[in-house]
Structure 1
Amino acid sequence: MKADKIHELAKRILEEIGGSENVANSTHCATRLRLVLKEEDDAMVEKVKQIPGVIDVVRKGGQFQIVIGNTVDKVYGQFEEMTDKSNDARHSEETSQEGNVFTRIIATMSAVFAPFVYVLAAAGMIQGSLIILSQFWPNIVETGTYQVFDVMSWAPFVFLPIFIAITASKHFKTNTYTAVFANAALVAPGFTELAQRAGAGEAITFLGSPLSETVYTSTVIPALLLVWLLRYLERFFERMLPDAVTRLFTPLFSVIIAVPLTILVIGPISSAGANVVATGYTALSESFPALAGIIIGGLWQIFVLMGIHWGITPVILANHEQYGMDTFQAYQTIAVIAQVGAALAVFLKAKKQDVRSVSLSATITGIFGITEPAIYGVNLRYKKPFVIGIISGAVGALVASFFGVYSYVYTGLPGPLTVINNYSPENPGSFWGVLTGAAIAIVLPVILVQIFGYGEDAVETTGVEETDTRDAKASQEVELAEQPHVTVYPPLQGTIVPMDEVPDPVFSSGAMGKGIAIEPTEGRVVAPFNGEVTLVAETKHAIGLTSDEGVEVLIHVGLETVELNGKPFTVHVKAGEKVSKGELLLEVDLDQLKAANYQTITPVVVTNTHELREVAATESLEDEYALLVKI
């Protein structure tokens, strides 16, 4: 796109969205101009869609996303000049302003808990292992070895506010060490002892007020709100104090205000609020256990897809703190196992080797409570298994509810291996209830998929029609291969997914161009042909290339991964650099993406499809799946 057209495009966009005064924030990813607008409506969307050069408009997560394509960085540069605003100054406010209150709370929970959820899961597995050992070897609880491992298993939960201080400080953009200092004061053994003495009736005053009996070990909300408060205190003192003393006195004044305020006001109120919610859920599960089981067992994975599942973590932790047990995770475990059972069902039903391979891998991973491969790589891909998993989870949890089930150990990653966490010598029926529900969650999907299929059975079992279709397709591929063409090879190892199944309308609609998508099994992205790197996104999540013959390709690693600001990515090339087929372009830590709840599916798009004669996928050329582009 020529410079004058880029300028005109940026100008038209700014006009149609109401001018610079309506722009609260602007940024961009590899293909989209991402705006946070003060006011927006459906009419604005339609007007912007009509602008020449705009591919589509998406409203998502509080953002007004304008899909432009590979020239978005140039359009963004012109747009920023026209708005005459500093993006850096606005970006610091984006986290707190984007979306409604509910969206911001969920985003905060996700950002805070995702980085260390595996630590909590590891600690939970240690606790589960100790429970198993103590059943077969009762005297082991008296040994020093058992006691040391028991202390280890509880450490992340006891000092949970410190973990929260680290991650929340990054989310709220405040000093990490100050946040750790403040939250460490709350969980210090000396303070815990004082609060316990106050709870026992001893008259202890703090700044003229009676000391609350609130203990902050294993708490979530007080620690989170303390770090949020530090954000504003630090900014205030950094503005007010002279430069010569700000580095010393900013943390000093911030802590001596934030910690007492938390102890006297924030902590008691927030802890009481979390306990009220936990008590309310407990009352529901006690009064109507079947209803609680159906809701959690059936809808939990939908909560996960919506990204609101982190909001329940404080409730679960409050239940464990207040009662030493929790029913939510008992039902949650069954919901997770049901999705693993659905992936297993696909493995048993499928005939295609690639489907069997992916579903088996997803099943094995799901055993350890990691269900993203099962959900995104198998169940949602074919849709029917996901629905069957929801039904099976609800049925399994319903049956389990009749046994009076409880989780007695917090489980970071519920799954088959954490069923033992529902055992208690005082309530052995809990274990058998969850085990029964888990068995249903595994077996029922297998039965239902055998009966109703998983969404591709017709393709696999149509006999002569299938053969004819394959032959026709193969003939078409050979015809295309014999004409002048460019082969675009898969840039990642993984499972090929049709572009129309990508859960992002910008890609699935073909608006960006034709192509394929890949559910990667490893994080190495290599060049799909010989050519030149034309784009490396600032956030490192996307790379654009042009082949020697002029085919333009965009590799977009994951969905919405621009929000990670490049953290899981390592780029090995730069724009303007010549590359050869198979040369390493970038590396991505897929585990980090999954832990942060981002989809890893990677669209590979021929962005200048409209300039080419034909773009077609093939899996017969040299027995390798690829895109053949007729030029």
Structure 2
Amino acid sequence: MSKKYEKLANEILAYIGGTANIDDVYHCQTRLRFKLKDESKANKEALEKLDGVAKVIINGGVFQVVIGPHVKSVFEEIEKNVEPKSGKTEKIEAKINEKKSILGSVVDFVTGAFQPIIPALSGAGMIKALLALLVVFNLISKTSQTYTILNFFADGVFYFLPILLAFTEAQKLKCNPILAVSVACIMLHPTWGALVAKKEAVNFFGVIPFTLTTYTSSVIPIILVVLVQSYVEKWLEKYIPEAVKLVFVPMLTFLIMGTLALSILGPIGSVLGNYLAVFFTFLSTNASWAPAVIIGTFLPIMVMFGIHNGVAPLGVMQMSNLGYDSIFGPGALCSNIAQGTAAFVVSLRTKDSKTKELATTAGITGLMGITEPALYGVNLPKKYPLIASMIGGGFGGLYAGLTHTHRFATGSSGLPAVLLYIGDNTMQFLYNIIIALVISCVVTAVLTYILSLKYEKINETIEETAEIKTEVKNSTITSPLKGKVVPLSEVKDEAFASEAMGKGIAIEPSEGKVVSPFNGKVVSLFPTKHAIGLLSDDGVEMLIHVGLNTVDLKGKYFEAHVKQDQNIIKGQTLLTFNLEKIREEGYVTQVPIIITNTHEYSEVVSNCSGDIDYSDELLALKI
């Protein structure tokens, strides 16, 4: 799925009042259609000023944002943030038929639990970095009260990490977050800590033994507990009478989950956590280079498939167990710096002004730890900078791994994150990560430059060829429908009437058939078959939109006789539709015929009026 329209989609979401203001969203051939909870929250003027938005129309309770031929790509980005209600039946069937991989399910679960707490972990990490700097430069001592206070400012997040995870995991599993947090509080209660410290056997009711284990700063125990609690809670909600549910569901949840947490689930999680700590220790001692090399090399691929969200928490777990992260942090930092460097080199090598501007901006954000603009806007489309950055990130990660470089707090993976490598009363790890980043930069820059000598020339040739192929010519277009000519200004839709989509003409059809007005190709065919985009051999880009708001019919009364990307000849039947049935449903049946590349012509005129047949001249286009 393309990332090209991500920025536009995010701006649209912001100006319509945010995702919380959306009741539903769908799209037709030319526009996004929002059903908003409160239209007064939408900023129509700001939307119309966006580069990529042609017009905004409010009609019949639907907030319409006219995009043009690229509406599907913008909608795909919108859909990532909003769950549309339209097409509910099809989506349910798709979900039933979809077989999600075990890995995909695990990644999705872990991501849902850890992502919301990243800001808290980052804030705590930066305080740790500040504290380390103050100690290294002898501004405070480790025995001072200031040190102690700053330390627990940062440690608070990690000490109560089970509570944060309980809340986010409960949200992910759709059980009560407050009850989940309350169970986590049982596990962290000072009285339980005191019982563990006494090292005397604890038996609940004298029968159920509780394993003496502390759960502060732990991860796996609470994940297991909330996972089981989600099923217990739903079972209680199902069988306890509504009148007493408010009292007995929480009470029984605490009794059941408190017992299970301290007797079975918590100890199991603790054992698994101990094994994980052994694994991390083994990696740090015997194969310290491996994680950093793998992450440094393959992080861009992980980002594309979302796998990085499942790997990053391993660093958090390692830090919770050992006090540092050598699994994810060093490799991620090397990879991100390599991505930004590759984009910068592209900005120096490309001759395309838009690419140069995008690559420069993406390079800066990449160095700051936000690589999506560089990855999706520059490196992935061009391929060669992505390959160079993966190699450069791998070499930097190799050095970081071989020197046992690790960070002492979690945070962003950009240049500011180098401060996270100050710890253990030494600057050694800071120096090593800087060297690793220099290696990543140099290797990436050299490889990107060398590859650009070949591939930028190829790209220039392709662009020149494309310009030749898309050269437009003077054209005469015959009518694709039979009926009565209607000036575009009289079409009962502001987006078409205002020529926001381009110049053209409209026809009130007398027959339910659309034929090809020229030789060319079908470039877009909407699934509901009410609209079709065509490209002629002479470079004419045309949109034929049968009726107004007929997207709401969802394909009813329409039939397509061609497929997308199919070559077509003049007079060939493209679409048929039941004209009478559409009118009976109350829809306006005017058919706008728009030249969507109007800007490439000096004139788009129509000298016809009254009745028109399929073979009659409809439009004359002059370059």
TM tier relative to shorter chain: 0.5 to 0.7
What are the within-5 Å matches in structure 2 for residues 220-259 of structure 1?
A: 220-259=219-258
- In 2, the alpha carbon distance for the partners of 1:167 and 1:535 equals 39
Going from structure 1 to structure 2, the CA distance change for 1:131 and 1:483 (only over 3 Å counts) comes to farther
Going from structure 1 to structure 2, the CA distance change for 1:125 and 1:349 (only over 3 Å counts) comes to farther
One-letter identity of the residue aligned with 1:116: I
Going from structure 1 to structure 2, the CA distance change for 1:150 and 1:616 (only over 3 Å counts) comes to farther
Going from structure 1 to structure 2, the CA distance change for 1:466 and 1:240 (only over 3 Å counts) comes to closer
What are the within-5 Å matches in structure 2 for residues 387-426 of structure 1?
A: 387-411=387-411, 413-425=412-424
One-letter identity of the residue aligned with 1:321: S
Contact in 1 for aligned 2:125/2:410 (Cα 8 Å)? yes
Q: Does 1:319 align with 2:318?
A: yes
What are the within-5 Å matches in structure 2 for residues 426-505 of structure 1?
A: 428-453=427-452, 457-458=456-457, 470=467, 472=468, 475-476=471-472, 479=474
What are the within-5 Å matches in structure 2 for residues 219-368 of structure 1?
A: 219-328=218-327, 329-368=329-368
**Percent of pairs with identical residues:** 26
Partner of 1:138: 139
Going from structure 1 to structure 2, the CA distance change for 1:147 and 1:277 (only over 3 Å counts) comes to closer
Partner of 2:581: none
Cα drift, residue 511 of structure 1: 8.7
Partner of 2:52: none
Partner of 1:152: 153
- In 2, the alpha carbon distance for the partners of 1:268 and 1:325 equals 24
Cα drift, residue 306 of structure 1: 2.5
- In 1, the alpha carbon distance for the partners of 2:131 and 2:476 equals 61
Q: Does 1:187 align with 2:188?
A: yes
Cα drift, residue 454 of structure 1: 9.0
In structure 2, list runs of 5 or more residues that go unmatched: 1-24, 29-83, 480-487, 489-495, 503-522, 535-544, 556-585, 603-618
Cα drift, residue 425 of structure 1: 4.1
- In 1, the alpha carbon distance for the partners of 2:301 and 2:177 equals 33
Cα drift, residue 319 of structure 1: 1.9
In structure 1, list runs of 5 or more residues that go unmatched: 1-27, 32-70, 81-86, 491-507, 516-528, 538-542, 545-575, 579-610, 623-628
Write the deviation string for residues 47-81 of structure 1: whole angstroms up to 9, x where unpaired.
Answer: xxxxxxxxxxxxxxxxxxxxxxxx9957x65x79x
Partner of 2:565: none
One-letter identity of the residue aligned with 2:223: L
Going from structure 1 to structure 2, the CA distance change for 1:302 and 1:142 (only over 3 Å counts) comes to same
Contact in 2 for aligned 1:297/1:335 (Cα 8 Å)? yes
Instruction: Quote the RMSD (CA, aligned, Å).
Output: 4.6
What are the within-5 Å matches in structure 2 for residues 76-87 of structure 1?
A: none
Going from structure 1 to structure 2, the CA distance change for 1:150 and 1:454 (only over 3 Å counts) comes to farther
Going from structure 1 to structure 2, the CA distance change for 1:446 and 1:235 (only over 3 Å counts) comes to same
- In 1, the alpha carbon distance for the partners of 2:398 and 2:279 equals 20
Going from structure 1 to structure 2, the CA distance change for 1:450 and 1:261 (only over 3 Å counts) comes to same
TM-score, normalization: structure 2? 0.60
Contact in 2 for aligned 1:333/1:414 (Cα 8 Å)? yes
- In 1, the alpha carbon distance for the partners of 2:121 and 2:286 equals 30
Going from structure 1 to structure 2, the CA distance change for 1:242 and 1:302 (only over 3 Å counts) comes to same
Write the deviation string for residues 76-100 of structure 1: whole angstroms up to 9, x where unpaired.
Answer: 65x79xxxxxx79x99xx89x9624
Write the deviation string for residues 235-290 of structure 1: whole angstroms up to 9, x where unpaired.
Answer: 22222222211111111101211122122211221232233234224313421333
One-letter identity of the residue aligned with 2:371: T
Going from structure 1 to structure 2, the CA distance change for 1:615 and 1:115 (only over 3 Å counts) comes to farther
One-letter identity of the residue aligned with 1:115: P
One-letter identity of the residue aligned with 2:361: S
More displaced 10-residue stretch of structure 1: 325-334 or 174-183: 325-334
Cα drift, residue 174 of structure 1: 0.9
Write the deviation string for residues 501-528 of structure 1: whole angstroms up to 9, x where unpaired.
Answer: xxxxxxx99997779xxxxxxxxxxxxx
One-letter identity of the residue aligned with 2:385: P
- In 2, the alpha carbon distance for the partners of 1:193 and 1:621 equals 82
Write the deviation string for residues 517-544 of structure 1: whole angstroms up to 9, x where unpaired.
Answer: xxxxxxxxxxxx9x9766699xxxxx99
More displaced 10-residue stretch of structure 1: 185-194 or 226-235: 185-194
Cα drift, residue 143 of structure 1: 5.9
Cα drift, residue 108 of structure 1: 0.7
Cα drift, residue 371 of structure 1: 2.2
Write the deviation string for residues 594-623 of structure 1: whole angstroms up to 9, x where unpaired.
Answer: xxxxxxxxxxxxxxxxx999987798789x
Write the deviation string for residues 374-432 of structure 1: whole angstroms up to 9, x where unpaired.
Answer: 22222222222222221111111112223221222233x32221122222345543222
Partner of 2:113: 112
- In 2, the alpha carbon distance for the partners of 1:509 and 1:269 equals 56
Contact in 2 for aligned 1:367/1:417 (Cα 8 Å)? no
Going from structure 1 to structure 2, the CA distance change for 1:203 and 1:299 (only over 3 Å counts) comes to same
Cα drift, residue 479 of structure 1: 4.7
Contact in 1 for aligned 2:341/2:363 (Cα 8 Å)? yes
Write the deviation string for residues 312-363 of structure 1: whole angstroms up to 9, x where unpaired.
Answer: 3453233223222231122332223222222233233333232222223223
Cα drift, residue 489 of structure 1: 6.4
- In 1, the alpha carbon distance for the partners of 2:300 and 2:270 equals 27
Q: What is the SS of the residue equivalent to 2:405? A: coil
Partner of 2:178: 177
Going from structure 1 to structure 2, the CA distance change for 1:362 and 1:203 (only over 3 Å counts) comes to same
- In 1, the alpha carbon distance for the partners of 2:364 and 2:533 equals 33
Contact in 2 for aligned 1:400/1:433 (Cα 8 Å)? yes
- In 2, the alpha carbon distance for the partners of 1:191 and 1:454 equals 66
Write the deviation string for residues 106-161 of structure 1: whole angstroms up to 9, x where unpaired.
Answer: 11112222233233223322322332233234326566555444333333322222
Going from structure 1 to structure 2, the CA distance change for 1:274 and 1:302 (only over 3 Å counts) comes to farther
Contact in 1 for aligned 2:113/2:172 (Cα 8 Å)? yes
More displaced 10-residue stretch of structure 1: 278-287 or 261-270: 278-287
Going from structure 1 to structure 2, the CA distance change for 1:338 and 1:245 (only over 3 Å counts) comes to same
- In 2, the alpha carbon distance for the partners of 1:127 and 1:163 equals 19
- In 1, the alpha carbon distance for the partners of 2:414 and 2:253 equals 42
Write the deviation string for residues 219-239 of structure 1: whole angstroms up to 9, x where unpaired.
Answer: 222222222222211222222
Contact in 1 for aligned 2:133/2:422 (Cα 8 Å)? no
- In 1, the alpha carbon distance for the partners of 2:119 and 2:601 equals 42
Partner of 1:7: none
Contact in 1 for aligned 2:140/2:147 (Cα 8 Å)? no
- In 2, the alpha carbon distance for the partners of 1:176 and 1:320 equals 25
Write the deviation string for residues 447-491 of structure 1: whole angstroms up to 9, x where unpaired.
Answer: 2111102996126655xx967864x46852x7579999987769x
Cα drift, residue 434 of structure 1: 1.5
Partner of 2:371: 371
Going from structure 1 to structure 2, the CA distance change for 1:437 and 1:489 (only over 3 Å counts) comes to farther
- In 2, the alpha carbon distance for the partners of 1:430 and 1:126 equals 17
Q: What is the SS of the residue equivalent to 1:303? A: helix
Cα drift, residue 181 of structure 1: 1.4
Going from structure 1 to structure 2, the CA distance change for 1:189 and 1:149 (only over 3 Å counts) comes to same
Partner of 1:561: none
